[in-house]
Amino acid sequence: MAREGRGVPRREREPHRAFRRRGHEGFERRGRSSRCAYDADREAEIVTMRLRFAPSPTGYLHVGGARTAVFNWLLARKHGGVFILRIEDTDRDRSNEEHTRAILDGMSWLGIHWDEGPHFQSEGVERHKAEALRLLAEGKAYRDFSDAEAVREEARVRDMHPSRVAREQAEALGPEEAERRAEAGVPFAIRFRVPDGETRFHDLVHGEMRFGNDDIDDLVILRSDRTPVYNLAVVSDDANMGITHVIRGDDHLSNTPKQVLLYRALGFPEPVFGHVPLILGEDGKRLSKRHGATAVGEYADEGILPEAMINFLALLGWSPGDDREFMTLEELIDAFDAERILKKSSVFDTEKLSWLNGKHLAVKPSDQLVDHIRTRLRGQSSLRQELLDDQAWMETLLAVIKPRARTLDELADQARPFLLSDLAYEEKAVEKYWRKDPDAALDRLGRVAAAFEDADWSKEALEERLRALAEEMGVGAGKLIHPLRVALTGNMASPGIFDVLVILGRDRVSERIVEGVKRIREA
RNA sequence: GCCCCCAUCGUCUAGUGGCCUAGGAUAUCGCCCUCUCACGGCGAAGACCGGGGUUCGAGUCCCCGUGGGGGUACCA
């Protein structure tokens, strides 16, 4: 059974069929009434695409969920649809306000704005319950008085589905007896009676899907404590919200036939389904905490830009079809196409995320980066805080260090030497450029300082002076630059030395050279 | 166990029967640029899971196997 999903050529999938479906209530109609009856009818069939992201509040927004959200959102933006956020909070133990807050924060950080919601699954329990009761009244579901444990055991012994054992027992009981027990207050669960035959549905990414109903359990839709079960709740909520496209993780694929059956039994129009592959860790296993950071918030903390995260997430299981990888939001929205979503799960590669982030960082205007760096460096006592407030200076600094950083964290790290009130010297640098030949270092530092004395403090003028000095001394410019770099930054590596000079300014340069000279003498 | 999904360089991917001697990106390595580190440029290495079919021709279609993932709850 269900072999059909395989090998259905992509072109034959009909992804956007749901643009022309009728029957959803409460939809925005794109057309308005027209004098031409024929056209009006046709217009009325075209409904707005309505998508939702429905995470359960587990404490944070993980990257897999975020990717699903990105796909939904991109699709909504592309087609002028509505993107809805719904929190699946019916599992009381795992849900609380704080967890919900974390999801909302993650979404906000990404910049994925929802058009409706957040709605909460728990808001619909009365409706869910009513729908379960309705199915019972219509004979499409039955009361199950059995003991779950005992049923499972018998099913194991007789090698059959537990739910079929439950069904057997319910049938043996008979409707009158069931009614009598219910009246008497004996607790029961309500199970949906799966009809014979097979269940088919269309999936945006997998194509035509078929499941033999023999393999589908009579699922409980209302627990004996009168609370609804997930599979009923989603169907009820999605139908109630007029969802046209259910784009969600692959892990729901096997549950979908149950839901389809529920849609039909309840008389609700079916949405188009699209099951996107899961994201795996570097070892090919399902992404989990032991793979390191799995929450988008952790990447935010490390200094990943939201636009880079969206770009990266969009490229996991999808590609525009050409060689583009670095893409802006607009480009993503324009290029996104559900038909090109892959079936294969992909590995979350943080290296590539960093690279992409570097690209986004490089094109990000420096003035937009200043605040990020300020918040990262603010309050550090070793840093001259007043420099952080000098907007123009900060922008110059960031423009220079930006191309050599991949994350905001790195950017902040590279900014530190320029803000330090007392420079920290890297041991390796001191050893290599000062200690090896202290006399030469002293001499060179002294001459450089003298050459800069009355120089015009511009990149060009300083470079001219330094190179002229090197020429005069008959040494390579590097011989002067390296010890100078250690004196100015304390490090082996830094931006181009003339940029460093300009950023530091005449006074701090001479201060640092004096300090350097002092240190070399002391050593 | 049963049901379902998936399978191209380490990783992300292009590929819809001949354009594939399998393309791009990342990571790795080398060279260039150069005051260092990055950036950038150039180059190297690196893949169609295995076996059967179908076809004049298969990475592409079919079957089997293997591997990975998911589901199978009175979890979501």
Tell me the C-alpha distance between A210 and A152, whole Å. Answer: 27
State, as a whole number of angstroms, the distance between the CA of A320 and the C1' of B14.
10
Judge whether residue A128 contacts strand B, using its CB and a 7 Å cut-off: no
Both tokens of A272, joined, read: 């188009």
Q: What is the pLDDT of residue A7?
A: 31
State, as a whole number of angstroms, the distance between the CA of A198 and the C1' of B33.
66
Ranges assigned E (strand) in A230-348: 245-249, 272-276, 279-280, 346-347
Judge whether residue A339 contacts strand B, using its CB and a 7 Å cut-off: no
**Other C-beta atoms lying within 10 Å of the C-beta of residue A79:** 17
Q: What is the pLDDT of residue A494?
A: 95
Both tokens of A70, joined, read: 């990105």
Tell me the C-alpha distance between A432 and A437, whole Å. Answer: 9
Nearest of A94, A72, A74 to residue A238 by alpha carbon? A72
Radius of gyration of chain A, Cα coordinates, nearest whole angstrom: 33
Contact A63, A287 (CB under 8 A): yes
Tell me the C-alpha distance between A66 and A284, whole Å. Answer: 19
CA closest to C1' of B34 belongs to: A496
Nearest of A87, A113, A90 to residue A100 by alpha carbon? A87
Tell me the C-alpha distance between A522 and A511, whole Å. Answer: 17
The nucleotide lying nearest A359 (C-alpha to C1') is B39
Nearest of A440, A462, A442 to residue A509 by alpha carbon? A462
Judge whether residue A448 contacts strand B, using its CB and a 7 Å cut-off: no
Judge whether residue A475 contacts strand B, using its CB and a 7 Å cut-off: no
CA closest to C1' of B24 belongs to: A323
Q: What is the pLDDT of residue A25?
A: 32
State, as a whole number of angstroms, the distance between the CA of A218 and the C1' of B35.
75
ipTM of the complex: 0.95
Residues 497-516 of A with CB under 7 A from strand B: 497-499
Judge whether residue A164 contacts strand B, using its CB and a 7 Å cut-off: no
Judge whether residue A324 contacts strand B, using its CB and a 7 Å cut-off: no
State, as a whole number of angstroms, the distance between the CA of A83 and the C1' of B65.
44
Axis-axis angle for helices A148-158, A162-173 (nearest 10):
110
Both tokens of A158, joined, read: 């007789």
Contact A382, A277 (CB under 8 A): no
Q: Write A15-20 long-range contacts (CB < 8 A, 24+).
A: A15/A204, A15/A272, A15/A274, A15/A338, A15/A339, A17/A202, A17/A272, A18/A47, A18/A49, A18/A244, A18/A245, A18/A271, A18/A272, A19/A46, A19/A47, A19/A49, A19/A79, A20/A45, A20/A46
Q: What is the pLDDT of residue A521?
A: 87
Q: Is A289 a known active-site residue?
A: yes
* Catalytic residue (one of A78, A129, A289, A436): A289
- Cα end-to-end distance, chain A, whole Å: 81
- Write out chain A's pLDDT in tens, 523 residues: 333 333 333 333 333 333 333 333 333 323 222 223 333 444 445 679 999 999 988 888 999 999 999 999 999 999 999 999 999 987 655 557 888 999 999 999 999 999 997 999 999 999 999 999 999 999 999 998 887 777 777 777 777 777 788 888 888 888 888 888 888 888 899 999 999 999 999 999 999 999 999 889 899 999 999 999 999 999 999 999 999 999 999 999 999 999 999 999 999 999 999 999 999 988 878 887 778 788 999 999 999 999 999 999 999 999 999 999 999 999 999 999 999 999 999 999 999 999 999 999 999 999 999 999 999 999 898 989 999 999 999 999 999 999 999 999 999 999 999 999 999 999 999 999 998 888 999 999 999 999 998 889 999 999 999 999 999 999 999 999 999 999 999 999 999 999 999 999 999 999 999 999 999 888 7
**Predicted TM-score of the model (pTM):** 0.88
Tell me the C-alpha distance between A142 and A136, whole Å. Answer: 6
Both tokens of A10, joined, read: 């992509």
Tell me the C-alpha distance between A355 and A350, whole Å. Answer: 9
The nucleotide lying nearest A7 (C-alpha to C1') is B61
DSSP state letter for A217: -
State, as a whole number of angstroms, the distance between the CA of A351 and the C1' of B44.
21
Contact A110, A70 (CB under 8 A): yes
Amino acid letter, residue A38: Y
The nucleotide lying nearest A57 (C-alpha to C1') is B76
Judge whether residue A229 contacts strand B, using its CB and a 7 Å cut-off: yes
Judge whether residue A318 contacts strand B, using its CB and a 7 Å cut-off: yes
State, as a whole number of angstroms, the distance between the CA of A326 and the C1' of B54.
41
Both tokens of A128, joined, read: 């869910």
Ranges assigned E (strand) in A47-126: 50-53, 82-87, 116-120
Q: What is the pLDDT of residue A92?
A: 59
- Which residues, in sequence order, are CB contacts of A424 under 8 Å at separation 6+? A417, A490
3-state secondary structure of A20: strand
3-state secondary structure of A228: strand
Residues 86-115 of A with CB under 7 A from strand B: 88-91, 94
Q: What are the Cα distances from residue A219, in Å, to A269, A275, A385, A456?
A: 21, 21, 63, 82
The nucleotide lying nearest A496 (C-alpha to C1') is B35
Both tokens of A302, joined, read: 């490390």
Nearest of A142, A163, A143 to residue A154 by alpha carbon? A163
The set of strand B positions with any atom below 7 Å of a protein CB reads 2-8, 10-17, 23-27, 35-40, 61-63, 68-76
Q: A293: number of CA atoms within 13 Å, CB side?
A: 14
Judge whether residue A278 contacts strand B, using its CB and a 7 Å cut-off: yes
CA A294, A300, A301: angle at the middle one, nearest 5? 95
Judge whether residue A315 contacts strand B, using its CB and a 7 Å cut-off: yes
Q: What is the pLDDT of residue A117?
A: 77
Amino acid letter, residue A292: G
Ranges assigned E (strand) in A102-244: 116-120, 141-144, 189-192, 198-203, 207-212, 220-222
Tell me the C-alpha distance between A166 and A220, whole Å. Answer: 10
Is the peptide bond prior to A118 cis by the omega test (within 30 degrees of 0)? Answer: yes
